[in-house]
Amino acid sequence: MTYVIGMISQKGGVGKSTLARMMAREFVAGGLTAKIADLDTQQQTSTYWAGRRAEAGLEPEVQVQSFASVASAIADAPRFDAMILDGKPNASTQTLEIAQAADLCVIPTGPTVDDLHPGVVLAHGLRKKGVGAIVFAMVKTTASERETEAARAYLTQAGYDVLSGEIPVSTAYGQAGDVGRTITETSFRTLNARATMLAQSIIDRVADIQEVA
C-alpha cells in the first residue's frame, strides 16, 4: 500500500516544498521507494531542486516529477511505497483534490499569527469538505520557546494536532537546499536531528492512519 502525503498551504514560502523533499529523502534512505509529485507547474521548486541534487551526485537519489493534475500523480502512486504531493499555494481546487487523495495532509506554518491564521482557515475549509487527516508542522521557528509554545497552543485550541519536532530559522537549511540536499543533510548534527524528528513524526502519523484504515 502506498503512503500518500499531501503538502499544502494557503500561502507561499512557508516550507511546503522543503518538507516534501525531506520526506522523500527519508523514505528512500529507509529503504522504501518514493516520488515527489511537483504539482506547481509554474514554480517547479522541487523539480529544479532534484536537478541540483542529481548534478551533485548525491545519494540517495530522490525521484521528482512534474504533474499537470492530482489525478495523474495518483495514477502513478501505486508504483511507489510513498508519494508526496507538493501542491501550489493558494490553489483552492487543487488543494482540495490533494487533501481528498492523501492519507495525511501536512500544513507547514511559522509561529506568527500571520502564518497561523491562514493555515487554520485552510484547515477549517478542508474539514468542511470532509477531510479529516490534517496536521500542522512548525517551521521557521525562532529561539523563543515561548513563541513556539504559544503557536502550538493556538493550533491545538483551533482543534488540530501539531507534529513533534520543528524546523528553526537557519541559513544552513537554505544552503542545503541550494546544493540539492534536504534539511536532514546539513553540516550540523543538531539541525539534522530536529528535522529528522519532524520527519519521523510524519511517518508515524501516516502509518497509524493506514493501520486504522
Give the percent of the chain with pLDDT over 90: 89
Q: Span 155-181, mean pLDDT?
A: 97
Provide CATH code, domain 3-212.
Answer: 3.40.50.300
Question: How many alpha carbons fall within 13 Å on the CB side of residue 192?
Answer: 11
- At residue 136, the pLDDT reads 98
- At residue 11, the pLDDT reads 79
DSSP 8-state symbol, 138 = E
Instruction: Tell me: pLDDT of 10 over 90.
Output: no
pLDDT tens per residue, range 137-152: 999 999 999 999 999 9
Instruction: Tell me: pLDDT of 90 over 90.
Output: no
**Domain-wise residue ranges, the chain:** 3-212
Instruction: Tell me: pLDDT of 91 over 80.
Output: no
DSSP 8-state symbol, 132 = -
* 36 or 210, which is more confident: 36
- Please report which confidence band the pLDDT of residue 49 belongs to, taking 50, 70 and 90 as the band edges: very high
- At residue 14, the pLDDT reads 81
Give SS3 for 117.
helix
Q: Where is 154: in which H helix or E strand?
A: helix 145-157
Instruction: Report d(CA 79, CA 2) in Å as an integer.
Output: 8
8-12, 23-27, 97-101: lowest mean pLDDT where? 8-12
Instruction: Report d(CA 150, CA 202) in Å as an integer.
Output: 21
Instruction: Report d(CA 128, CA 130) in Å as an integer.
Output: 5
**Which residues fall within 8 angstroms of residue 135, CB to CB, at 6 or more apart?**
104, 105, 106, 107, 160, 161, 162, 163, 202, 205
Q: Beta strands 34-38 and 134-141: pairing type? A: unpaired
Asked if residue 68 lies in contact with residue 37, where contact means CB atoms within 8 angstroms, the answer is no
